[in-house]
Amino acid sequence: MSGFILAIDQGTTSTRAIVFDDSYRVRGVGQQEFPQHFPASGWVEHDPEDLWRTTLDTVRFALADAGLSAADLAGIGITNQRETTVVWDRQTGQAIHNAIVWQDRRTAEVCHRLKADGAEPMVSAKTGLILDPYFSGTKVAYILDNVSGARARAEAGALAFGTVDSFLLWRLTGGRVHATDATNASRTLLYDIRRGDWDDDLLALIRVPRAMLPEVHDSAADFGTTDPSLFGAAIPLRGIAGDQQAATVGQACFAPGMIKSTYGTGCFAVLNTGPDFVPSKNRLLTTIAYRLDGKTTYALEGSIFVAGAAVQWLRDGLKVVERSDQTGPMAEAADPAQTVYMVPAFTGLGAPWWDADARGAIFGLTRATGPNELARAALEAVCYQTRDLLEAMRRDWAGDADTVLRVDGGMVASDWTMQRLADLLDACVDRPTVLETTALGAAWLAGRQAGVWPDQAGFSASWRLDRRFLPAMDEEVRTLKLAGWADAVRRTLTHPLQN
């Protein structure tokens, strides 16, 4: 059988399709951006048809770029922006509302009310999550409550809910398969990650009918085949994982204690905790890293809502840069005498703060502050937030956490940013030769299931280092900079108990 695997990487701002050969080399790529919709402050939506259209186009382009046909593929793996919520009609396949994106904060008041009612301990014990609008469950309830007749139709089984992977799987299989994997299910607030099943208590609390939920499979499984009319032949769908879990797999973080951090629209650090469900005492998330052969591997995760999105804001909102890749050289050229902090809470603050009502702020501005200083502040904000996450992980994890951080995502191409990250973490930062680790992780799941790619040990042996960044900042300077960041965050938080 062919060793070619195609990965669909459906992200927050663009969709990519990448063809890998059995040596993990990229043979073909397709990518398209799509519009973001902001109907109100803190609200973020996508048109599900944009997600579908860009998926079809990029798959076709990647196949053409690789010089392959659909029949040449051993399988497809899907990885997706997590928590983003789609509800669609089972008969027509049409969404009844725009997709509500993971960044969206419209259900913050619902989450506050459930917390006030004392529901969070039960939710956390079952899901490993906290009550926050970040997750899918309250988004589903919002759609059912705000689209005429939707709740009755959902209870009658006429509507389907899914994260983006489920929606794409439904469309790719011509409506034959309504399923997801354990990693995506674990991000809904509706799934008991200890028992491995949808939970009736959670469904009743958040008011989501069981009839609209997808079937949950392992991350490497047989998810059906594509409709032959789409790409010229039926292609087996053999792997699904949420983007951060796929990156964990793609970075070969299979051993307990290994840590990866992905820098895209947001930033997400994941610590493998093996078979142990580790409840966090520091407001991290306990989640499923992957499920293979029916065995669950857990993780601690810290979520930063705005990383690359801050750079996009400099480019598209303030227009102080023309291209994102200009920010590294600009940061290097910034005035070292100026101390500017950006707290990019454009859609609230994630871990370890979880303040849905916080909004962005910039501190330390003077008349001399210019684009270079703003670029440095945006990049440093990502590094400071990563430090907050890793400190919380070290407090939660009783085992030996790796002192090396494996990094991936678009921002890691910037040498300046990775060096500053190592400096502020006071830890080594490893950048791999293959930066497409999210897509690679989805491809490995599909390749493993197809039997054409190696097991975990064989895949781990293939991981290659591009560059290791070593900390070089003076300890006194680091301490002062971290204290300034902590003060900036304190001034941004809105929760009285955290001020």
Indicate which CATH number applies to the domain containing 259: 3.30.420.40
- Domain co-membership, 211 together with 178: yes
- Domain co-membership, 51 together with 146: yes
Residue 40 maps to a domain: yes
- Domain co-membership, 334 together with 362: yes
Q: Provide the pLDDT for residue 404.
A: 79
Residue 109 maps to a domain: yes
Residue 406 maps to a domain: yes
> In whole angstroms, what is the distance from residue 66 CA to residue 69 CA?
9
- Domain co-membership, 387 together with 281: yes
Residue 212 maps to a domain: yes
Residue 378 maps to a domain: yes
Residue 439 maps to a domain: no
- Domain co-membership, 366 together with 327: yes
Q: Provide the pLDDT for residue 326.
A: 87
In terms of Cβ atoms closer than 10 Å to its own Cβ (0-12, 13-18, 19+), residue 2 is middle
- Domain co-membership, 379 together with 264: yes
Q: Which of 218, 243, 268 is the last residue of a domain?
A: 243
Q: Provide the pLDDT for residue 478.
A: 93
- Domain co-membership, 206 together with 129: yes
Residue 401 maps to a domain: yes
Q: On the CB side of 137, how many CA atoms lie within 13 Å of its CA?
A: 30
Q: SS3 sequence, the chain?
A: CCCEEEEEEECCCEEEEEEECCCCCEEEEEEEECCCECCCCCCCEECHHHHHHHHHHHHHHHHHHHCCCHHHEEEEEEEECCCCEEEEECCCCCECCCEECCCCCCCHHHHHHHHHCCCHHHHHHHHCCCCCCCCHHHHHHHHHHHCCCHHHHHHCCCEEEEEHHHHHHHHHCCCCCCEEEHHHHCCCCCEECCCCEECHHHHHHHCCCHHHCCEEECCECCCCECCHHHHCCCCEEEEEEEHHHHHHHHCCCCCCCCEEEEECCCEEEEEEEECCCCCCCCCCEEEEEEEECCEEEEEEEEEECCCHHHHHHHHHHCCCCCCHHHHHHHHHHCCCCCCCEEECCECEECCCCCECCCCCEEECCCCCCCHHHHHHHHHHHHHHHHHHHHHHHHHHCCCCCCCEEEEECHHHHCHHHHHHHHHHHCCEEEEECCCCHHHHHHHHHHHHHHCCCCCHHHHHCCCCEEEEECCCCCHHHHHHHHHHHHHHHHHHCCCHHHC
Q: Structurally, how many domains does the chain consist of?
A: 2
Q: Which of 243, 264, 297 is the last residue of a domain?
A: 243
Residue 444 maps to a domain: no
- Domain co-membership, 190 together with 222: yes
Domain that holds residue 8: 4-243
- Domain co-membership, 238 together with 262: no
- Domain co-membership, 303 together with 209: no
pTM: 0.85
- Domain co-membership, 271 together with 145: no
How many Cβ atoms are within 10 Å of 426's Cβ, its own excluded? 14
- Domain co-membership, 258 together with 239: no
- Quote the tokens at residue 81: 């922006």
pLDDT in tens, the chain (499 residues): 678 999 999 998 899 999 999 889 999 999 999 999 999 988 999 999 999 999 999 999 999 999 999 999 999 999 999 999 999 999 999 999 999 999 899 999 999 999 999 999 999 999 999 999 989 999 999 999 999 999 999 999 999 999 999 999 999 999 999 999 999 999 999 999 999 999 999 999 999 999 999 999 999 999 999 999 999 999 999 999 999 999 999 999 999 988 899 888 788 899 999 998 999 888 889 999 999 999 999 999 988 888 888 888 889 888 888 888 888 899 999 999 999 999 988 877 877 887 878 888 999 999 999 999 999 999 999 999 999 888 888 888 876 655 678 998 888 889 999 999 999 999 899 999 888 889 999 999 999 999 999 999 999 998 899 999 999 999 999 999 999 999 999 998 886 544 3
Q: Which of 214, 243, 272 is the last residue of a domain?
A: 243
